């Protein structure tokens, strides 16, 4: 049966969860179709073949009990050289589980999570959802991701039934950076590195293996906007999901959550020549918070991520990120703290010399 506009925790129950799963497609592939109808000039739809996003396939959940979901090990992704499952995948699967437990009239607006243990890519992840509160305007969920009976990730997620703002609209302007067209992608940079003789054979092979794996998202670094120096700990990166996503709003929210964990801490290394120049001996995410401001975007279209480190000390990095559409709408904000350990002191870049007038 369809979910009523508001259900008590008991009334919501398994029927509501299953209905939300069917809405999002998580009881099977999110998209069984192999084509998508896109508008073309003149208003007529064009039937075209499309490749379903690898990311869309990798965030599936199976409901195994009331408010208990399984993320199958076959879909888990461990980046090369990483300690465990990519944190962004755990984040978005946790968000997905929470979304499945609320009526569709509610939209996620905030998420606060802690990484507790590295996820094992060779074991299933079981997600337990607890219904903390169901109110008329807000719903709150607590989600625990577990392996071997231990909690590897814990999050509190809050949902809000949309309300009119009555004119209370404030937003930061999008930075004046170059658009994504014509910029080199991250994979193009990696292709260059596979032939860089300054790198060790081991590192060149690392980049070759990385390129051989399917891409879940594409990133293109934009040059700094006017007034931002090369030593400032800020990066501007155009990002989108590789392939085509379905049309449900929730899948785009979930995939944006995934992309928000991509390189959040790297901007702290700008004053030191970049992460590749002076890499840490160990780097892990500690916590991750997200705020969803809008649903009027697609995660498979270009979004501008501005990530800035506001403080790095005591082997911890704190970074904040804002995300705009190409039209300039601020749709998302997030923050992350991570651990970065070094055995050797870092060398800072020399500051640019101020220009002086010649007399």
User: CA separation (Å) from 251 to 25, 100, 169, 299?
Assistant: 9, 12, 26, 8
C-alpha span between 238 and 183 (Å, rounded) = 9
CA angle 50, 52, 58 (to 5 degrees): 170
C-alpha span between 55 and 35 (Å, rounded) = 17
Question: Any catalytic annotation for residue 32?
Answer: no
Residue with tokens 């005591």: 314
Q: Are the beta carbons of 274 and 232 closer than 8 angstroms? A: no
Question: Any catalytic annotation for residue 192?
Answer: no
C-alpha span between 176 and 236 (Å, rounded) = 10
C-alpha span between 272 and 275 (Å, rounded) = 8
Element (DSSP H or E) covering residue 18: helix 9-24
Q: Are the beta carbons of 127 and 94 closer than 8 angstroms? A: yes
Catalytic residue among 89, 260, 289, 336: 336
Question: Any catalytic annotation for residue 285?
Answer: yes
Both structure tokens of 346: 């870092």
DSSP 8-state assignment for residue 350: P
Catalytic residue among 260, 285, 289, 333: 285
C-alpha span between 322 and 304 (Å, rounded) = 8
Catalytic residue among 134, 261, 300, 319: 261
The SS3 call for residue 203 is helix
Under the phi-then-psi rule, with left for phi > 0, alpha for psi from -120 to 50, and beta for the rest, what region is 328?
A: left
Q: Are the beta carbons of 255 and 299 closer than 8 angstroms? A: yes
For residue 184, count CB atoms less than 10 angstroms from its CB and return exposed for 0-12, middle for 13-18, buried for 19 or more: exposed
Q: Are the beta carbons of 204 and 196 closer than 8 angstroms? A: yes
The string of DSSP codes covering 313-337 is ETTEEEEEEEEEETT--EEEEEEEE
Residues serving a catalytic function are 261, 285, 336
């Amino acid at each position: 049966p369809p979910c009523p506009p508001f259900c008590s925790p008991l009334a919501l129950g398994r029927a509501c969860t299953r209905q939300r799963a069917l809405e999002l497609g998580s009881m099977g592939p999110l998209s069984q179709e192999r084509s998508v109808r896109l508008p073309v000039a003149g208003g007529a739809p064009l039937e075209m073949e499309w490749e379903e996003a690898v990311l869309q396939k990798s965030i599936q959940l199976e409901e195994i009990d009331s408010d208990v979901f399984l993320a199958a090990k076959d879909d888990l992704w461990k980046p090369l050289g990483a300690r465990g499952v990519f944190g962004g995948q755990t984040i978005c699967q946790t968000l997905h589980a929470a979304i499945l437990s609320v009526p569709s009239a509610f939209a996620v607006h905030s998420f606060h999570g802690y990484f507790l243990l590295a996820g094992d890519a060779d074991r299933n992840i079981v997600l337990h959802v607890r219904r903390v509160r169901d109110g008329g305007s807000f719903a709150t969920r607590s989600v625990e991701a577990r392996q071997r009976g231990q909690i590897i990730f814990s999050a509190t997620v809050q949902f809000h039934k949309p309300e009119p703002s009555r004119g209370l609209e404030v937003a930061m302007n999008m930075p004046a950076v170059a658009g994504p067209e014509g910029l080199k992608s991250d994979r193009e940079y990696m292709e260059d590195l596979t032939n860089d003789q300054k790198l060790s054979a081991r590192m060149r092979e690392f980049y070759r293996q990385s390129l051989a794996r399917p891409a879940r998202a594409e990133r293109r670094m934009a040059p700094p906007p006017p007034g931002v120096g090369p030593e400032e700990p800020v990066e501007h990166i155009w990002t989108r999901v590789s392939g085509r996503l379905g049309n449900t709003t929730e899948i785009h929210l979930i995939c944006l959550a995934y992309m928000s964990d991509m390189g959040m801490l790297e901007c702290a290394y700008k004053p030191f020549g970049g992460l590749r120049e002076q890499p840490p001996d160990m780097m892990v995410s500690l916590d991750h918070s997200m705020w969803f401001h809008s649903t009027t975007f697609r995660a498979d279209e270009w979004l501008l991520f501005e990530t800035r480190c506001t403080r790095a000390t005591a082997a911890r990095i704190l970074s904040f990120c804002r995300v705009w559409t190409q039209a300039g709408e601020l749709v998302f904000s997030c923050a992350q703290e991570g651990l970065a350990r070094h055995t050797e002191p870092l060398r800072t870049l020399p500051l640019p010399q101020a220009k002086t007038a010649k007399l």
